[in-house]
Amino acid sequence: MIRINEHYQKLQNSYLFAEINQRIQAFQQQHPERELIRLGIGDVTQPLPDACVQAMHKAVDELAESQTFRGYGPEQGYDFLRQAIAEHDFQARGANINADDIFVSDGAKCDTGNIQELFAQDLRLAIPDPVYPVYVDTNVMAGRTGASQAGRYQGLVYLECTAENNYIPALPSEPVDLIYLCFPNNPTGASITREQLRLWVDYALEQQALILFDAAYEAFIQDEDVPHSIYEIEGAEKVAIEFRSFSKTAGFTGVRCAYTVVPKACTAYTAAGVAVSVRDLWMRRHTTKFNGVSYPVQRAAEAVYSPDGKAQVAELIEYYLKNAAYIRQAFQRMGFACSGGDNSPYIWIEVKQDAWAFFDFLLNNAGVICTPGAGFGRCGEQHIRISAFNNFEKVQQAMQRIEAALLHHSPL
């Protein structure tokens, strides 16, 4: 008899964005004439930077000629891209990260979910609340938690992020082994200063813990005191793995390219206390289970670091941050408390009522799609997340619709 992995039975409902899609489809079947404005899922709308498009065209042409054709590439990424990443994203900021610390992949979502395979089943995990659901769900699937009770899984240490602590979690009050952090944060849009991040690195060094640092939105950072990488903090290369993505940086959501940084100094331990290179473990896992990102896509990613690519990416970031500022100002004008939208493309809005009910209110009365905060954890209840990834004209229209809906209909 074939049996299932019963840890999947613990998962709450469906994956957040799958549930959102189901509600949208049901609404559209009932109201096919209604035009919806999507400010929920963080999917980009602007075209790829021209430098990336040209690089991809050139790479495809190379594949059409026998003299320049390429078959399988290295699973961990071509040297040309890994070197560009190390030089521009890390060494330029004083971080001691080299090309062979970089592992190119098809998405940070995959990497943040897969990385947990390297570690023991009985680890004590600390995970922020609210949080990107993949961090929690993949550990539930792996069997590191108990059942869900009142919206939280037994066995996890939840780090509460609220308006009272500016959505920056406090250090754990009990020992933990593996810590998930995301800054600029998804979903709250909060950013962390160097001194605040230093506390986490010092904690990990003292406790021999490991930080999984999701920096997928670092390109949106505007404040000088906000680090772009955890490796800007001394000692972090010993206790941190960092995840990055070209999805939001350069609009690669449909192209698929990201990377994970596992420094050679990063160490974990056997049950007997013997030190083991985490980089070597990830290399083994990555080269065993991943076939690599296609050559044209990696050439397109390399072009992000060209002079033209940098300028075009900066224009994209400026465009979406303009949207974010407009959204935040509009909701504040309507009387809502907000965070994010300055160093982040997300605006986290306190709605003071059931998040899914407010989602339905906006969908039915304004034709605007948001993301209900309850899908990110207990601390996300009574909040929604609005994404700045859309056309500016659509953003303006969405805010007008929402304001009109609030004037004419009660969301309660």
Domains in the chain and their CATH numbers? 6-47+308-408 (3.90.1150.10), 52-306 (3.40.640.10)
327, 386 in Cβ contact below 8 A? yes
Mean pLDDT of 288-312: 98
- DSSP symbols for 120-149: -TTPPEEEEES--HHHHHHHHHHT-S--EE
**Residue 62: exposure state from Cβ atoms within 10 A (0-12, 13-18, ≥19):** middle
Q: Could you tell me the pLDDT band of residue 151, with boundaries at 50, 70 and 90?
A: confident
Any idea what DSSP says for residue 32?
T
Q: What is the pLDDT of residues 87-111, one digit of tens each?
A: 999 999 999 999 999 999 999 999 9
Distance CA 248, CA 246 (A): 6
Q: What is the pLDDT of residues 153-183, one digit of tens each?
A: 999 999 999 999 999 999 999 999 999 999 9
370, 359 in Cβ contact below 8 A? yes
Is pLDDT of 25 > 70?
yes
pLDDT at 412: 65
Q: Output the pTM of the full model.
A: 0.96
